[in-house]
Amino acid sequence: MLYKLQKIAHSRWYWLALVALGLSFIAVALFYQYVLEELPCVLCIQVRIWVLCLTLVAFNAYVLNNRWSSLIAHILTVFIAAALLERSYQLLGTERGFVFGDCGFDLGLPSWFALDSWFPALFRVEASCGYTPELIFGITMAEALTVLSATLLLISLALTIMYFVKQDH
């Protein structure tokens, strides 16, 4: 089992899988936004930003494919997964009513990093927080994101640890 985890931690396929996962998340979000007309809130857009960060880190690790880029990418993936889990939890808490906070239309990005102005089709806040759409079997997007983010955090943490363990084979 440990050998398999070591092998995955050193594999380019892992990074390619994360790129595919990130692109899938973005595709689903855009499908819900533009086809099903479920407008995104500020927390949804912040989740998109973290997913984009994950995708870019994974893509760079896949393309560069060297020891240092993989090491940095593993560490960044843990931090990104943790941030994604935090935003997903906030989204779930807002939906369920156990987290209260200001959820307006300001994305909170500095003026020099105005993603919402540069790419409004992807990053413009269009709704206030309160609920997320149902995906399948009564599972909401916030619930699915929370579970997937927690799973990603555990996997990325395990693989980061295994990356540091010396390979026996």
Rounded to 10 degrees, the C-alpha dihedral 141/142/147/150 comes to 130
Query: Is residue 60 pLDDT above 90, yes or no?
Result: yes
Domains in the chain: boundaries? 2-164
What whole-number distance in Å separates Cα of residue 40 and Cα of residue 138? 19
Helix (H, G, I), strand (E, B) or coil at 20: helix
β pairing state of 134-136 and 139-140? antiparallel
The per-residue pLDDT for 96 is 82
Helix (H, G, I), strand (E, B) or coil at 139: strand
CB neighbour class for 56 (10 Å; exposed up to 12, middle 13-18, buried from 19): middle
Query: Is residue 164 pLDDT above 80, yes or no?
Result: no
Tokens of 125: 């806040």
Taking only the tens place, the pLDDT of each residue in 41-55 is: 889 999 999 999 999
134 sits in which H/E element: strand 134-136
Tokens of 31: 């499908």
Taking only the tens place, the pLDDT of each residue in 111-159 is: 898 888 899 899 988 888 877 888 889 889 989 999 999 999 999 998 8
pTM of the model: 0.88
Class of domain 2-164: mainly alpha
Tokens of 139: 């599972």
The per-residue pLDDT for 45 is 92
Taking only the tens place, the pLDDT of each residue in 7-36 is: 767 788 999 999 999 999 999 999 999 999
CB 158: neighbour CB atoms within 10 A?
15
The per-residue pLDDT for 1 is 64
The per-residue pLDDT for 163 is 80
